[in-house]
A and B are shown apart, each in its own frame.
Chain A
């Protein structure tokens, strides 16, 4: 059922069992996973379609990020940021979830990876993927002719294909669901909480700027890594610094991945190359080369994936042949042009050598792969979401986000790359070419993965939510999404967001049902 926020908000005397704020992959997954006996309010700030006016509420102030970063890296409509999701799926590694004692702001997840495995499998089922954990699919040592290999692993990713747009996929189901009331154009302003920590209601403002509240027994905040912090920071009626912010943790440790496109090339010896090509075909183009966890622990390295690109090599080869033919034809006409690769005036040795190789040997099996680098996102308390002095059109204070990478990260990245290169060379598996400067801040630009602003830790002095994703100091407010990630590895976060959302739904259902069952619905 679709309802108007201004007219149909749950009354204090008849609260919803659960109010979910945000209808992205996290919010929709929680809503769909809860027992049908529970009444659910699903609150979305946007409509069913993109609306520029609504999206404008995402604008804010930035430091170290492009000015339009906040409004262009997420989607404010039913289905949320699944509309800007690339569909790339991969669980976090065990190493990602460990505390790195040499990294000052690092904390461990409150539970190990095994806790998430059943939820990752549920996420796989939802997205139509194979389990990552059957038949050793999770990772595989890079070997030559099946022999022993030390230190290098291949890490496969899967794609949601076509990429699941949650708003499109589940719109009819959720609108028809008898236990779910969908509020569109309902902008969450703040939570109304009691001094004892109970959240009583969600304050809303609609498109016409009419205010209302939704009462519920439990709340789930699922509005993304930046908005989750924004709404909690704006929730000051009983907690002046914001809800869950007694120890000044809220909004801190904002993380984003900083992929380095066109980072370099790897040439593989024949045997690993054939293996790699088969795997790349099977995974539709995404497989990462990485160091194994033991080496990373020993060397104190951040995680790093080198995403190999199979297609580039093929295109490069065909392009060379075309360029060569064109050049020959032009030369016959007495026309000499710099045609890029292969031309005598071009100093790009890679392109020249590939052209020369192809022509001299007639072989098209040059196992040259380009790669982009995916460094681990790093928690830093100074990278944070705070409230701006400016407000949006609904009177809700905007955010200010600071994000900068460190020299330590650059050095760590260089060491990882050198180790990968040395492992490949030392085992006669291949050679690596690096085509970027890790120390140039312009190389490392934040992407659309917003993580870590309400991170998970059992100690409220070190985190905002506990191991069950309940905000410290509250009893009935959960946070869903990547804002709870204490660390983020190098993999895309959506798959873990969906897994955690299943886990939250299970915990929430137990909580509601153990405390008197459903109130209505």
Chain B
């Protein structure tokens, strides 16, 4: 399986935080996030900034060992690795999100049942 090229942290964060723009306008508001309606896989990375902070606060409270940009970056890179280097980051993350649900690798935040990968993307942005 091809691996994602080594990204430096700054570049990765820029990519992740730029996903909201990449996914386009329009979408659906929920408790903690705004799902993008433009993305067929609904990874939903565009966030109300205040809500994002609440997500991070809640997640780190229950997962204190993950309060580290390095850790999150490493986990996210591992999550997207199965898609191979040829895939866009958006597609690779979307596939990781879908895989999370298929394998029940989910997190419950404020009642929402969410993919662990998508939550890690959000909280990484909060750490930024």
Residues in B with CB closer than 8 Å to A431 are 30, 35, 42, 44, 112-114
Q: Which among A363, A365, A426 is the interface contact of B98 at CB below 8 angstroms?
A: A426
Which of the segments B11-19, B60-68, B72-80, B102-110 contacts the partner chain? B102-110
Cβ-based interface call for B90 (8 A): no
Contact check, B111 vs A264: say whether CB atoms are below 8 A apart: yes
A residues touching B (Cβ–Cβ < 8 Å)?
144-145, 264-265, 267-270, 273, 347-350, 352-354, 356-358, 360-361, 363, 365-368, 417-418, 421-435
Q: Which residue of B lies closest to A420 (CB)?
A: B113
14 A-B pairs with C-beta separation under 8 A: A353-B31, A354-B30, A357-B29, A367-B37, A418-B106, A421-B113, A425-B100, A425-B106, A427-B98, A432-B112, A433-B111, A433-B112, A434-B108, A434-B111
Give the distance in Å from the alpha carbon of A297 to the alpha carbon of B115 in the complex: 26
Contact in complex: B26, A352 (CB < 8 Å): no
Contacts between the two chains (Cβ within 8 Å), count: 121
Contact indicator B106/A421 (Cβ below 8 Å): yes
The answer to whether A425 and B35 have CB atoms under 8 Å apart is no
In the complex formed, the residue of A with least CB distance to B102 is A426
Among B29, B32, B112, B113, which residue has its beta carbon within 8 angstroms of that of A366?
B29
Contacts of B29 in A (CB 8 A): 353-354, 356-358, 366, 368
Closest B residue by C-beta to A356? B48
Residue contact A269 to B37, C-beta cutoff 8 Å: yes
Q: What is the distance, in angstroms, from A420's C-beta to the closest C-beta of chain B?
A: 9
Q: Of all chain A residues, which has the CB nearest B114?
A: A431
Cα(A158)–Cα(B105), bound, Å: 37
Please list the residues of chain B having a beta carbon within 8 angstroms of any beta carbon in chain A: 25-35, 37, 39-44, 48, 50-51, 54, 94, 97-98, 100-102, 104, 106, 108, 110-115
The minimal Cβ–Cβ distance linking B27 to chain A, given in whole angstroms, is: 8
> Quick check: A426 and B101 within 8 Å, CB to CB?
yes
Determine if A367 and B113 form an interchain contact, defined as CB atoms under 8 angstroms apart.
no
Task: Report A-chain residues with C-beta under 8 Å of the C-beta of B113.
Answer: 417-418, 421-422, 425, 431-434
Interface of B is mostly: mixed
How far, in angstroms, from A434 to B94 measured CA to CA in the complex? 23
Q: How far is the CA of A424 from the CA of B100 in the complex (A)?
A: 12
Residues in B neighbouring A365, C-beta threshold 8 A: 26, 28, 37
Q: How many whole Å from A96's CB to the nearest CB in chain B?
A: 26
CB distance from B10 to the nearest CB of A (A): 27
A354 to B32, CA, bound (A): 9
Besides A353-B32, A427-B98, A432-B112, 17 more A-B contacts (Cβ < 8 Å) are: A144-B40, A270-B28, A349-B51, A349-B54, A350-B31, A352-B51, A361-B27, A367-B37, A422-B101, A425-B101, A426-B102, A428-B41, A428-B43, A430-B42, A431-B44, A432-B113, A433-B31
A317 and chain B: residue at smallest CB distance: B29
A422 touches B102 (CB 8 A): yes
Task: State how many angstroms separate the Cβ of A246 from the closest Cβ of chain B.
Answer: 48
A357 CA to B50 CA in the complex, in Å?
12
A350 CB → nearest B CB, Å: 4
